[in-house]
Amino acid sequence: MMTVTSLRYTSFAGKYFLLLTLLFFTNDASAQKTKADSLGKLLTAEKQDTNRVRLMWQLAGAMNIYNPDTAILLAQQALYLAKDVHYIEGQSRSMGVLANAFIKIGNYPRALELNIQKLQIEEKRDKPRNLASVLMNIGVIHALQEEYRKALEYYSKADSVIRQFNVEDMKYYIALNMGDAYNRLDISDSAYLYFNRSLELAKRLDDVDLVGTSMTGLGHSYLKMGIYPLSKENYQQAITHLQSVNDDEILCEAALGLARLYGKLNKSDSAAYYATLSVSVAKKDGFLSHEMEAARFLTDHYKKQKNIDSAFVYMNYVQELNDSVNSKSRIRQSQILSSNEQLRQLEIAQNKKIAAKERLQQLQLLFIGIFIPGFFLFTLLLSRIKIHIRIIKILGILSLLIFFEYLTLLLHPYVMALTHHTPVYEILIFVSIAALLIPAHHRIEHWLISKLVRNRVKTPEEKFKVKTIKIKMKKPPGV
């Protein structure tokens, strides 16, 4: 069973956190492997196409946590199958999972492209939660690329949908994301309003982790507005909440925020303590961007304190971390290139499959095109041998019906292309064609049956019978 969870992403700017709200699994890798094994067994046994699509995108979602490359291929296969069987929900879900996998490896342009395609699907459906979710995810991708005003544009659209249709489970996340975007744009009063709204919603949900996250945001807002006592209070409470639920990623943010506050208050020991806490937590959990941001703060902090030795140590530490970031960036680029090539090969295979299917359809149309005149000639041949007239009539009618249906079949793709799949125009054109074909069909049918019966060669018995009838009908001489 799928659950709604939040997947956190942090930019290398290290300023704050982003939440990507999707229908997804929990983030625990070991749990995902167990879940993936179970889904894999179900997928192997499943025969129905729509169920296979559902299992494939669920499996891709589970594998994305620990193996995004395989998740990308699986989600793409699910998308192809969903398109083949015209399963709209499957197409939308597969695109969402595929986009999330691309975010995982840092391919933001491709993730954005997929989410826009998903948006085009959801705009035509009556599922407000899905629409709000994809709008928010597009905003997240813009935020990850530091396009915060563009992110706000999509967050605002998502917020409108959420408010209009009262999508309760997304109200917290949209408030938090909008607060984050305003905070990054240094519009602190607006950031405060949305962070405060998110805090109220978190308290209503009675979720300690969400409360700690919102308080971290409020700490940032109060710090930028220069309201230091409230900033300190929110940071300290946030740290307590986050430590209680082991949310180390946001804990790094809150600890570094408090260190910056103490730095402004000229409390150097406390500033160093909380910055060091941020470094140690980030190092333990592998949050490289948080670790580097805290290390940079400590470098500047010790320079101001004239502590050259400590400043030099952290300067070297930052350089090492920067090398690691560059190395990871190169690995990410390699992953992107590799996934692009894998998808290209998958697309080639899919195109071959589509081409084979189209070729089969063309061969079928060619066979029908050859069969129609052949069937008509066969009917003409039968009309010249001894056979019941009713059979000849039936065969003549069948040959005409096949011809007219074949004509409609040939015209249908051109009509769809001409009308751009507009149902009203399609109906009008086909009604017009039918208005011409139906009378023509009846006239040609009567003409053809008449010709077939008239052209029939009579047997000797029939000729004798006809001759006898003519003699009997001859008038006597002199009358």
Each residue of 70-86: pLDDT tens digit? 889 899 999 999 998 99
The pLDDT of residue 7: 38
The pLDDT of residue 373: 72
- Of 269, 273, 315, which Cα lies nearest the Cα of 295? 315
Please state the φ and ψ torsions of residue 474, each to the nearest 5 degrees.
-75, 135
The pLDDT of residue 56: 92
The 10 Å CB-count burial string (b at 16+, else e) for 309-320 is: eebeebbebbee
d(CA 78, CA 55) in angstroms, rounded, equals 9
Please state the φ and ψ torsions of residue 10, each to the nearest 5 degrees.
-125, 130
Q: What is the average per-residue pLDDT within 129-157?
A: 94
Element (H, E) at 9: strand 3-10
CA distances for 312 relative to 236, 279, 315, 319, angstroms: 30, 16, 5, 11
SS3 339: helix
d(CA 276, CA 290) in angstroms, rounded, equals 11
The pLDDT of residue 3: 30
The pLDDT of residue 403: 72
Low-confidence winner among 53-67, 176-190, 203-217, 377-391 (lowest mean pLDDT) = 377-391
Q: What is the average per-residue pLDDT within 381-406?
A: 68
User: Tokens 């920067």 — which residue?
Assistant: 322
The pLDDT of residue 364: 76
Highest mean pLDDT among 191-200, 430-439, 456-465 belongs to 191-200
Q: What is the average per-residue pLDDT within 64-68?
A: 85
pLDDT band per the 50, 70, 90 thresholds, residue 413:
confident
- CATH fold group of domain 3-185: 1.25.40
d(CA 407, CA 399) in angstroms, rounded, equals 12
Q: Amino acid identity, residue 258?
A: L
Cβ neighbours for 38, distance < 8 A, ≥ 6 positions apart: none
Give the length of the chain.
Answer: 479
Contact 122, 92 (CB under 8 A): yes
Q: Is the pLDDT of residue 446 over 80?
A: no
CA distances for 275 relative to 9, 64, 267, 397, angstroms: 21, 32, 12, 89
Contact 241, 208 (CB under 8 A): yes
- Residue spans of the domains in the chain: they are 3-185, 344-472
Query: Parallel, antiparallel, or unpaired: how do β-strands 3-10 and 17-24 relate?
Result: antiparallel
pLDDT band per the 50, 70, 90 thresholds, residue 173:
very high
Q: Is the pLDDT of residue 15 over 60?
A: no
First to last CA, the chain: 101
Q: Is the pLDDT of residue 445 over 50?
A: yes
CA distances for 298 relative to 66, 195, 256, 310, 424, angstroms: 33, 28, 10, 9, 68
- Of 179, 194, 170, which Cα lies nearest the Cα of 6? 170
Contact 41, 22 (CB under 8 A): no
d(CA 142, CA 239) in angstroms, rounded, equals 28
Q: What is the average per-residue pLDDT within 128-156?
A: 94
pLDDT tens by residue, 93-119: 999 999 999 998 889 999 999 999 999
Structure tokens belonging to residue 225: 């507005």
Q: Is the pLDDT of residue 130 over 70?
A: yes
- Of 64, 122, 128, 131, which Cα lies nearest the Cα of 98? 64
Q: For residue 176, is it left (φ>0), alpha (ψ between -120 and 50) or beta? A: alpha
The 10 Å CB-count burial string (b at 16+, else e) for 11-45 is: eeebbbbbbbbbbbbeeeeeebeebbeebeeebee
- Please report which residue ranges of 8-87 form alpha helices under DSSP H: 29-45, 49-63, 68-84
d(CA 219, CA 222) in angstroms, rounded, equals 5
CA angle 104, 110, 113 (to 5 degrees): 125
pLDDT band per the 50, 70, 90 thresholds, residue 377:
low
pLDDT band per the 50, 70, 90 thresholds, residue 17:
very low
Contact 303, 311 (CB under 8 A): yes
Q: Is the pLDDT of residue 300 over 60?
A: yes
pLDDT top residue among 259 and 12: 259
SS3 64: coil
Predicted model pTM: 0.71
Q: Please name every residue paired with 24 in a beta bridge, in sequence order, or none if there are none.
A: 3
d(CA 467, CA 306) in angstroms, rounded, equals 133
The pLDDT of residue 469: 41
Q: What is the average per-residue pLDDT within 392-420?
A: 73
Arithmetic mean of pLDDT over the chain: 81
pLDDT top residue among 471 and 21: 471
d(CA 332, CA 318) in angstroms, rounded, equals 20
SS3 27: coil
Structure tokens belonging to residue 470: 């003519």
Low-confidence winner among 44-53, 296-305, 319-328, 373-382 (lowest mean pLDDT) = 373-382
Q: What is the average per-residue pLDDT within 444-468?
A: 55
pLDDT top residue among 22 and 251: 251
